[in-house]
Amino acid sequence: MDRETYERLVKNSTSGTTQSSRAARQKQIRAKQRKNALIGLCIGVALFTSVTLAGVKALATRIGNNIEVAQSINEFHREVVYKNTHRTQDYQHYWYDYYEIGKEVKSDEDVYKLVQDIGEYQTDKVLATRDDIEDTVQDYIKNRDYKDLKDFNETNYERILIQNDINEKQRELNEMTHESIVKADTETQELGGK
Protein backbone atom coordinates (compact mmCIF):
# COMPACT_ATOMS: atom_id res chain seq x y z
CA MET A 1 0.00 0.00 0.00
CA ASP A 2 1.52 3.23 -1.01
CA ARG A 3 1.44 6.45 0.97
CA GLU A 4 -1.35 8.13 -1.06
CA THR A 5 -3.70 5.21 -0.68
CA TYR A 6 -3.01 5.06 3.05
CA GLU A 7 -3.77 8.79 3.53
CA ARG A 8 -6.93 8.50 1.43
CA LEU A 9 -8.16 5.56 3.56
CA VAL A 10 -7.41 7.41 6.80
CA LYS A 11 -9.12 10.51 5.51
CA ASN A 12 -12.21 8.56 4.40
CA SER A 13 -12.40 6.54 7.62
CA THR A 14 -12.54 9.65 9.86
CA SER A 15 -14.21 11.86 7.27
CA GLY A 16 -11.56 14.42 7.96
CA THR A 17 -12.98 15.28 11.39
CA THR A 18 -11.30 14.95 14.67
CA GLN A 19 -12.99 14.54 18.02
CA SER A 20 -12.62 18.24 18.80
CA SER A 21 -14.08 19.29 15.44
CA ARG A 22 -17.01 16.88 15.98
CA ALA A 23 -17.65 18.42 19.40
CA ALA A 24 -17.58 21.90 17.86
CA ARG A 25 -20.03 20.76 15.19
CA GLN A 26 -22.32 19.26 17.87
CA LYS A 27 -22.28 22.64 19.70
CA GLN A 28 -23.30 24.39 16.50
CA ILE A 29 -26.12 21.90 15.93
CA ARG A 30 -27.38 22.25 19.54
CA ALA A 31 -27.19 26.05 19.30
CA LYS A 32 -29.25 25.97 16.09
CA GLN A 33 -31.74 23.57 17.68
CA ARG A 34 -32.10 25.90 20.72
CA LYS A 35 -32.58 28.87 18.40
CA ASN A 36 -35.25 26.98 16.42
CA ALA A 37 -36.95 25.88 19.64
CA LEU A 38 -36.94 29.50 20.91
CA ILE A 39 -38.42 30.73 17.62
CA GLY A 40 -41.08 28.02 17.81
CA LEU A 41 -41.86 29.01 21.41
CA CYS A 42 -42.18 32.68 20.44
CA ILE A 43 -44.54 31.81 17.58
CA GLY A 44 -46.58 29.61 19.92
CA VAL A 45 -46.82 32.39 22.52
CA ALA A 46 -47.82 34.90 19.83
CA LEU A 47 -50.56 32.58 18.51
CA PHE A 48 -51.81 31.85 22.02
CA THR A 49 -51.89 35.57 22.83
CA SER A 50 -53.78 36.46 19.64
CA VAL A 51 -56.35 33.71 20.20
CA THR A 52 -56.76 34.76 23.83
CA LEU A 53 -57.23 38.42 22.91
CA ALA A 54 -59.78 37.49 20.24
CA GLY A 55 -61.64 35.40 22.82
CA VAL A 56 -61.56 38.21 25.37
CA LYS A 57 -62.88 40.66 22.77
CA ALA A 58 -65.72 38.29 21.83
CA LEU A 59 -66.51 37.71 25.50
CA ALA A 60 -66.53 41.44 26.20
CA THR A 61 -68.89 42.00 23.27
CA ARG A 62 -71.21 39.25 24.51
CA ILE A 63 -71.19 40.67 28.04
CA GLY A 64 -71.95 44.14 26.67
CA ASN A 65 -74.85 42.75 24.66
CA ASN A 66 -76.20 40.90 27.71
CA ILE A 67 -76.06 44.13 29.70
CA GLU A 68 -77.93 46.03 26.97
CA VAL A 69 -80.70 43.44 26.85
CA ALA A 70 -80.91 43.28 30.66
CA GLN A 71 -81.26 47.06 30.79
CA SER A 72 -84.06 46.87 28.23
CA ILE A 73 -85.83 44.19 30.29
CA ASN A 74 -85.37 46.25 33.48
CA GLU A 75 -86.77 49.33 31.76
CA PHE A 76 -89.81 47.33 30.66
CA HIS A 77 -90.17 46.03 34.23
CA ARG A 78 -90.10 49.56 35.69
CA GLU A 79 -92.48 51.02 33.14
CA VAL A 80 -94.99 48.16 32.85
CA VAL A 81 -94.67 45.36 35.39
CA TYR A 82 -93.65 47.26 38.54
CA LYS A 83 -96.46 49.80 38.33
CA ASN A 84 -98.95 46.92 37.94
CA THR A 85 -97.58 44.84 40.82
CA HIS A 86 -99.52 45.08 44.07
CA ARG A 87 -98.82 43.87 47.61
CA THR A 88 -101.30 41.85 49.61
CA GLN A 89 -102.77 43.41 52.75
CA ASP A 90 -100.34 41.56 55.01
CA TYR A 91 -97.38 42.65 52.81
CA GLN A 92 -96.19 39.06 52.61
CA HIS A 93 -97.00 38.48 48.95
CA TYR A 94 -97.76 40.35 45.76
CA TRP A 95 -99.95 39.95 42.72
CA TYR A 96 -99.86 41.23 39.15
CA ASP A 97 -102.64 43.13 37.44
CA TYR A 98 -102.54 40.90 34.37
CA TYR A 99 -105.08 42.94 32.43
CA GLU A 100 -103.13 46.21 32.78
CA ILE A 101 -99.83 44.51 31.91
CA GLY A 102 -101.53 42.87 28.93
CA LYS A 103 -102.59 46.25 27.56
CA GLU A 104 -98.91 47.27 27.39
CA VAL A 105 -97.78 44.17 25.45
CA LYS A 106 -97.55 45.28 21.82
CA SER A 107 -94.79 43.24 20.16
CA ASP A 108 -92.75 40.04 20.19
CA GLU A 109 -90.03 41.93 22.04
CA ASP A 110 -92.51 42.84 24.80
CA VAL A 111 -93.55 39.20 25.17
CA TYR A 112 -89.86 38.22 25.28
CA LYS A 113 -89.17 40.83 27.98
CA LEU A 114 -92.19 39.66 29.94
CA VAL A 115 -91.10 36.01 29.79
CA GLN A 116 -87.59 37.01 30.90
CA ASP A 117 -88.94 39.21 33.69
CA ILE A 118 -91.85 37.32 35.28
CA GLY A 119 -91.54 33.89 33.70
CA GLU A 120 -93.56 31.86 31.24
CA TYR A 121 -96.33 30.89 33.69
CA GLN A 122 -97.15 34.50 34.64
CA THR A 123 -96.80 35.60 31.00
CA ASP A 124 -99.41 32.97 30.04
CA LYS A 125 -101.80 34.65 32.47
CA VAL A 126 -101.07 38.07 30.95
CA LEU A 127 -101.61 36.78 27.40
CA ALA A 128 -104.88 35.14 28.45
CA THR A 129 -106.33 38.60 29.18
CA ARG A 130 -105.84 39.64 25.55
CA ASP A 131 -108.39 38.72 22.90
CA ASP A 132 -106.22 39.66 19.94
CA ILE A 133 -103.32 37.29 20.69
CA GLU A 134 -102.90 33.70 21.81
CA ASP A 135 -103.48 32.57 25.38
CA THR A 136 -100.10 30.95 26.07
CA VAL A 137 -96.50 31.71 25.25
CA GLN A 138 -96.12 28.38 23.42
CA ASP A 139 -99.16 29.11 21.20
CA TYR A 140 -97.88 32.64 20.64
CA ILE A 141 -94.50 31.29 19.52
CA LYS A 142 -96.02 28.63 17.22
CA ASN A 143 -98.34 31.10 15.49
CA ARG A 144 -95.49 33.55 14.89
CA ASP A 145 -93.40 30.98 12.94
CA TYR A 146 -90.70 30.49 15.56
CA LYS A 147 -89.32 26.97 15.87
CA ASP A 148 -89.37 26.90 19.66
CA LEU A 149 -88.81 29.02 22.77
CA LYS A 150 -85.05 29.05 22.19
CA ASP A 151 -85.49 30.42 18.66
CA PHE A 152 -87.99 32.98 19.98
CA ASN A 153 -85.52 34.10 22.68
CA GLU A 154 -82.53 34.32 20.31
CA THR A 155 -84.46 36.23 17.64
CA ASN A 156 -85.88 38.77 20.06
CA TYR A 157 -82.53 39.13 21.84
CA GLU A 158 -81.03 40.19 18.50
CA ARG A 159 -84.01 42.44 17.74
CA ILE A 160 -83.54 44.28 21.02
CA LEU A 161 -79.85 44.82 20.23
CA ILE A 162 -80.70 46.12 16.76
CA GLN A 163 -83.41 48.39 18.16
CA ASN A 164 -80.95 49.75 20.75
CA ASP A 165 -78.46 50.49 17.95
CA ILE A 166 -81.17 52.25 15.93
CA ASN A 167 -82.17 54.31 18.97
CA GLU A 168 -78.53 55.26 19.59
CA LYS A 169 -78.02 56.33 15.96
CA GLN A 170 -81.29 58.30 16.06
CA ARG A 171 -80.16 60.07 19.25
CA GLU A 172 -76.81 60.94 17.61
CA LEU A 173 -78.63 62.24 14.52
CA ASN A 174 -80.94 64.36 16.67
CA GLU A 175 -77.96 65.82 18.55
CA MET A 176 -76.18 66.65 15.28
CA THR A 177 -79.35 68.23 13.88
CA HIS A 178 -79.81 70.25 17.05
CA GLU A 179 -76.18 71.41 16.95
CA SER A 180 -76.56 72.41 13.28
CA ILE A 181 -79.71 74.40 14.05
CA VAL A 182 -78.05 76.15 17.01
CA LYS A 183 -74.98 76.92 14.88
CA ALA A 184 -77.14 78.26 12.03
CA ASP A 185 -79.16 80.41 14.47
CA THR A 186 -75.94 81.77 15.99
CA GLU A 187 -74.51 82.60 12.57
CA THR A 188 -77.79 84.23 11.52
CA GLN A 189 -77.81 86.37 14.65
CA GLU A 190 -74.18 87.36 14.10
CA LEU A 191 -74.88 88.34 10.48
CA GLY A 192 -78.06 90.18 11.41
CA GLY A 193 -76.32 92.05 14.21
CA LYS A 194 -73.57 93.45 11.98
pLDDT reported for residue 169: 92
> Residue 4: pLDDT band by 50, 70, 90 thresholds?
confident
Residue 108 CA: distances (Å) to CA of 78, 112, 156, 161, 172: 18, 6, 7, 14, 26
Whether residue 18 has pLDDT greater than 70: no
Widest pairwise Cα distance in the chain: 124
Strands (E), the chain: 85-87, 94-96
Question: Which is more confidently placed, 154 or 10?
Answer: 154
Whether residue 40 has pLDDT greater than 60: yes
Kindly state the DSSP code that residue 86 receives in the 8-state scheme.
Answer: E
Q: What amino acid occupies position 72? A: S
Where in the chain are the domains? 74-186
Q: What percent of the chain has pLDDT over 70?
A: 93
> Residue 188: pLDDT band by 50, 70, 90 thresholds?
confident
Strands 85-87 and 94-96, by their bridges, are antiparallel
Q: If you average pLDDT over every residue of the chain, what do you get?
A: 84
Whether residue 163 has pLDDT greater than 60: yes
- List, as own/partner pairs, every contact residues 76-82 make where C-beta atoms lie below 8 angstroms and the sequence separation is at least 24, other chains included: 76/110, 76/113, 76/114, 76/117, 77/113, 77/117, 79/104, 80/104, 80/110, 81/114, 81/117, 81/118
105: nearest Cα among 140, 151, 139: 140
Q: What predicted TM-score, i.e. pTM, was given to this entire model? A: 0.60
Length of the chain: 194
pLDDT reported for residue 58: 81
Whether residue 99 has pLDDT greater than 60: yes
At 164-187, the pLDDT tens digits run 899 889 999 999 988 888 888 887
> Residue 107: pLDDT band by 50, 70, 90 thresholds?
confident
pLDDT reported for residue 152: 87
pLDDT reported for residue 80: 86
